[in-house]
Amino acid sequence: MYLAKIRITLRPSILDPQGKAVQHAITTLGVGNVADVRMGKYVEVKIASGSEKEAREKTDEICRKLLANPVMEDFAYDLVRSE
C-alpha cells in the first residue's frame, strides 16, 4: 500500500485572486512581510499496489485524468509506503 501526497498548484502565469485575498487578510492580521500567496489543492490517495513503479503510474494517471486541469494547473507528489 502506498500513500500519494499530491499537491496541485495553479501555473505561475495564471492569476490567483483567492491567493491575493488571503495575502490581504494576512496583512490585516498584522503578520507583515508576506510577498506572495498561491492557493492550491492537496489530495492524499491511498493506493493498494505492490510496487512503487505501479503506484507511481497510477498516481500520474489519476492526476492527469481527474485531479489536475492540465491547461491551468501543475501537479507534484510524494509517494510513501503505508499499511
Based on the shown chain and the rule CB under 8 A, indicate whether residue 25 belongs to the binding site for a copy of itself: yes
Q: Is 4 exposed, middle or buried (0-12, 13-18, 19+ CB in 10 A)?
A: buried
Q: How many CB atoms lie within 10 A of CB 5?
A: 14
Alpha-carbon separation of residue 19 from 13, 34, 52, 65, 67 (angstroms): 14, 11, 34, 25, 20
Based on the shown chain and the rule CB under 8 A, indicate whether residue 14 belongs to the binding site for a copy of itself: no
Which of 11, 14, 46, 72: binder of a copy of itself (CB under 8 A)? 46
Based on the shown chain and the rule CB under 8 A, indicate whether residue 35 belongs to the binding site for a copy of itself: yes
Based on the shown chain and the rule CB under 8 A, indicate whether residue 26 belongs to the binding site for a copy of itself: yes
Based on the shown chain and the rule CB under 8 A, indicate whether residue 79 belongs to the binding site for a copy of itself: no
Residues that bind a copy of itself (CB under 8 A): 1, 5, 7-9, 19, 22, 25-26, 29, 31, 33-49, 58, 61-62, 65-67
